[in-house]
């Protein structure tokens, strides 16, 4: 009979898959788009809003910069998409920016990219879920006080869905993604038609004024404000690299399908971002970092949240906040934002698996779970992202300050790595047609590297004091951690290399059976120890209580056991120290001898029984394992409560004892 925990696991995750079914989880382009590109596609729901939030720090005076900043973001997005199309064709193994930087710029650069991407994937989950909850609250303000709990619930839901496996999660995410794209394109089309026919949509906040934090900005100060707004708008580029990390998940031809999916993602994202920004300008949308800075806000600014840009546009275009299309847009937006975290739930485990294979992260991250997903990586991502949501109260405004620094670090290093890759290709390629193609790719990556490097400097300069310094600290710490893990694995590997002369056999084997009382587990341990035919065999007990010891000796003699019972003194009533001293005395007498310690242990079937049994054995085993020349053998005795658990183990076995677990 299965345990309650096993039943819950199977209900949430499903039956285990055999390894042979791995090929069945490969993705077509129509499924890969929502899985890997939901993050950049969904960012149109808040990228425009982030630009407006920064510009309104100066009141309404600087909103005229919005179209120019949006144009810069669109050009940058197009360049980055073109650059990564070269990456997926040159490196189809799925390492993405990490593989490109490692092979072309050296291992340290690769680790910097890996650390930056890991941080950015975590932030993607936190920001996307928080933004999704924001849109739910825009439609249903009563949920505002449950913001953090809602966010955590969605993280748990995403985790369970991804643990079920790539293909099933893809089917689940495809419908909301395409519904969002359809809804936003309809809203943009209807809104622009209304504007062209003289009935332009008007946002509910169009009549608001905004209290400026800074006034009269000119010259350098104005440039810094514009650059900060541009860096916030660059959130539209997050997740672009996920396709390059997930090339192995595509159906053949993998590289070509990945490149086409990336092109489709870029075209759709640019179209939606341009449309939403244009509508926001036409409808005179007003937003502010603090709701109380909105002069004219109808509700209580201290407790009621302002509506998101996408919610204001939907209400303006479709005739109010009680229409079917308004709720459709809000539901689709909330879903796509929450599911955009799936980009990270696919990218983070894949990258973690590659790093674990290279021994820069624990090997457990390279192990696939019951449903052929990298379960350990999925769970690790969920835990860290959940902790961030709690720490920052699921606030998009606060979380966004930590965002995109990591992704532009990886963008920059990978593009310059690609330039070096093409230089090496040119050195050996003689075909004129192929050389022209390589030159074209090199120019694309060089332009991409230069632009993303510039943006990286802008993001660092404008966001550092607003929270980006935490990422600046986290990336080097992750880098050092990965170097330390690799150094540990290298030391262990060197330590475990067999000696040239082979293994030296021990001179003698001394078997010691630990005895606490005379019962069936003790007799089984004695029988097993005798069957190994050691040179010496000792039944050992520590004299903790004189009366108990005398009773044990009497029972031992009555059973006529052919192994003498040795009693050692324990004046301080502590078993572990007395046993260790006895074994150390044997080792000193014969340094080339081996001591085999047999410990009878109960096998229990209920979790609470572990606290009632085997505690002394566990403490003693923990100490014995550190003693050189000592082998520890556990001799199990299955209690009645454990009956039937062997059948359960055979059912859950595929997920219980994998390599690296």
Q: Is the dihedral of CA 304, 125, 52, 186 positive or negative?
A: negative
Does 226 have pLDDT greater than 80? Answer: yes
Does 373 have pLDDT greater than 90? Answer: no
Picking from 194, 113, 219, 164, the residue whose alpha carbon sits closest to that of residue 449 is 113
Q: In what order do the strands lie in the sheet with 630-638?
A: 565-569, 536-543, 509-514, 594-603, 630-638
Question: What is residue 48's three-state secondary structure?
Answer: helix
Average pLDDT over residues 149-158: 91
Q: Cα separation of 176 and 135, whole Å?
A: 15
Residue with tokens 């065999």, as numbered in its chain = 537
Q: Cα separation of 528 and 311, whole Å?
A: 73
Which of 89-93, 105-109, 310-314 shows the lowest mean pLDDT across its residues?
Answer: 89-93
Does 132 have pLDDT greater than 90? Answer: no
Cα 594-596-601 angle, rounded to 5 deg: 165
Enumerate helices (H) and strands (E) in the chain, giving the number of each.
23, 7
Contact 294, 65 (CB under 8 A): no
Average pLDDT over residues 291-295: 78
Average pLDDT over residues 127-147: 86
pLDDT of residue 325: 93
pLDDT of residue 569: 85
Contact 419, 158 (CB under 8 A): no
pLDDT of residue 223: 86
Average pLDDT over residues 29-40: 79
Does 401 have pLDDT greater than 80? Answer: no
Does 61 have pLDDT greater than 70? Answer: yes
Does 654 have pLDDT greater than 50? Answer: no
pLDDT of residue 225: 85
For the CA atoms of the chain, what is the radius of gyration? 32
Q: Cα separation of 266 and 37, whole Å?
A: 9
pLDDT of residue 1: 46
Between 645 and 538, the higher pLDDT residue: 538
Global pTM?
0.75
Average pLDDT over residues 196-212: 87
539: part of which helix (H) or strand (E)? Answer: strand 536-543
Q: Cα separation of 349 and 327, whole Å?
A: 34
Average pLDDT over residues 364-386: 80
pLDDT of residue 169: 52
Does 287 have pLDDT greater than 80? Answer: yes
pLDDT of residue 603: 84
Q: Cα separation of 67 and 75, whole Å?
A: 12
Does 4 have pLDDT greater than 80? Answer: no
Does 9 have pLDDT greater than 60? Answer: no
Residues 6+ apart with CB under 8 A from 46: 131, 134, 235, 308, 309, 310, 337, 396, 400
Beta bridge partners of 630: 595
pLDDT of residue 658: 45
Q: Cα separation of 201 and 190, whole Å?
A: 10
Instruction: Name the H helices within 517-644.
Output: 520-531, 546-559, 575-589, 615-624
631: part of which helix (H) or strand (E)? Answer: strand 630-638
Which of 260-269, 339-348, 525-534, 554-563 shows the lowest mean pLDDT across its residues?
Answer: 339-348
Residues 6+ apart with CB under 8 A from 520: 637
Does 47 have pLDDT greater than 50? Answer: yes
Contact 370, 655 (CB under 8 A): yes
pLDDT of residue 7: 52
Does 649 have pLDDT greater than 50? Answer: no
- Over the stretch 345-371, which tens digit does the pLDDT of each residue have? 877 888 888 888 889 999 888 777 655
- Over the stretch 488-508, which tens digit does the pLDDT of each residue have? 999 999 988 887 876 777 889
Does 41 have pLDDT greater than 70? Answer: yes
Does 613 have pLDDT greater than 90? Answer: no
pLDDT of residue 410: 87
Which of 6-20, 130-144, 460-474 shows the lowest mean pLDDT across its residues?
Answer: 6-20
> How far from 581 is each of 258, 539, 584, 624, CA to CA, in Å?
64, 15, 5, 11
Ranges 19-33, 94-108, 587-601, most confident = 587-601
Does 612 have pLDDT greater than 80? Answer: no
Does 5 have pLDDT greater than 70? Answer: no
pLDDT of residue 644: 60
Q: Cα separation of 117 and 244, whole Å?
A: 12
Tokens standing for residue 39:
């993050």
pLDDT of residue 464: 81
Average pLDDT over residues 282-297: 82
pLDDT of residue 421: 92
Mean pLDDT of the chain: 84
Between 214 and 430, the higher pLDDT residue: 430
pLDDT of residue 374: 76
């Amino acid at each position: 009979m299965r345990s309650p925990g096993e039943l819950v696991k199977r209900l949430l995750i499903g039956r285990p898959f055999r390894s042979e079914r791995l090929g069945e989880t490969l993705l077509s382009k129509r499924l890969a788009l929502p899985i890997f590109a939901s993050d950049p596609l969904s960012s149109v729901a808040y990228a425009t809003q982030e630009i407006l939030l920064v510009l309104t720090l100066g009141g309404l005076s600087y909103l005229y910069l919005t179209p120019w900043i949006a144009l810069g973001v669109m050009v940058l997005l197009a360049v980055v998409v073109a650059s990564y199309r070269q990456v997926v064709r040159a490196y189809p193994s799925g390492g993405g920016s990490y593989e490109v930087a490692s092979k072309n710029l050296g291992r340290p650069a690769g680790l910097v990219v890996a650390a930056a991407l890991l941080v950015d994937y975590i932030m993607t989950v936190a920001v996307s879920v928080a933004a999704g909850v924001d849109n739910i609250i825009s439609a249903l303000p009563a949920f505002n006080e449950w913001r953090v709990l809602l966010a955590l619930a969605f993280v748990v839901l995403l985790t369970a869905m991804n643990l079920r496996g790539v293909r099933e999660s893809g089917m689940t995410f495809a419908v909301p993604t395409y519904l969002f794209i359809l809804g936003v394109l309809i809203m943009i089309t209807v809104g622009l038609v209304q504007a062209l026919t003289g009935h332009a949509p008007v946002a509910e906040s169009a009549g608001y004024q905004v209290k400026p934090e800074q006034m009269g900005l000119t010259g350098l100060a104005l440039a810094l404000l514009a650059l900060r707004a541009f860096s916030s708008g660059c959130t539209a580029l997050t997740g672009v690299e996920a396709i390059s990390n997930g090339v192995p998940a595509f159906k053949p031809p993998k590289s070509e399908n990945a490149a086409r999916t990336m092109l489709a993602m870029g075209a759709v994202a640019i179209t939606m971002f341009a449309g939403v920004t244009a509508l926001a300008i036409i409808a005179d949308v007003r937003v502010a970092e603090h709701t109380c800075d909105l002069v004219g806000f109808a509700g209580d600014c201290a407790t009621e949240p302002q509506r998101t840009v996408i919610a204001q546009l939907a209400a303006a275009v479709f005739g109010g906040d009680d229409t079917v299309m308004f709720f459709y847009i809000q539901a689709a937006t909330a879903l796509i934002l929450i599911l955009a975290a799936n980009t990270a739930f696919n990218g983070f485990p894949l990258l973690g698996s590659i790093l674990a294979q290279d021994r820069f992260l624990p090997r457990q991250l390279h192990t696939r779970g019951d449903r052929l997903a990298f379960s350990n990586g999925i769970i690790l991502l969920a835990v860290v992202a959940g902790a961030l949501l709690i720490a920052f109260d699921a606030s998009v405004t606060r979380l966004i300050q930590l965002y995109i620094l990591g992704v532009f670090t990886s963008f920059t290093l990978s593009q310059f790595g690609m330039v070096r890759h093409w230089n090496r290709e040119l050195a050996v390629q003689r075909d004129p047609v192929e050389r022209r193609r390589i030159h074209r790719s090199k120019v694309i990556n060089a332009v991409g590297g230069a632009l993303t490097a510039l943006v990286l400097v802008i993001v660092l300069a404008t966001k550092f004091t607003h929270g980006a310094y935490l990422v600046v600290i986290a990336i080097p710490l992750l880098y050092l951690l990965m170097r330390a893990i690799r150094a540990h694995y290298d030391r262990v590997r060197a330590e475990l290399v067999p000696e040239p002369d082979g293994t030296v056999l021990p001179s003698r084997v001394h078997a010691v059976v630990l005895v606490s009382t005379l019962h069936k587990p003790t007799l089984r341990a004695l029988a097993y120890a005798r069957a190994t035919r050691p040179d010496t065999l000792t039944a050992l007990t520590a004299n903790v209580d004189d009366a108990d010891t005398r009773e044990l000796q009497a029972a031992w003699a009555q059973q006529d056991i052919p192994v003498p019972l040795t009693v050692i003194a324990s004046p301080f009533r502590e078993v572990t120290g007395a046993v260790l001293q006895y074994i150390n005395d044997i080792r000193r007498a014969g340094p080339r001898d081996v001591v085999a310690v047999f410990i009878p242990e109960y096998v229990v079937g209920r979790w609470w029984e572990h606290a009632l049994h085997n505690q002394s054995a566990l403490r003693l085993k923990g100490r014995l394992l550190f003693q050189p020349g000592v082998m520890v053998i556990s001799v199990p005795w299955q209690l009645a409560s454990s009956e039937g658990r062997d059948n359960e183990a055979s059912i859950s076995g595929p997920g219980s004892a994998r390599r690296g677990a």
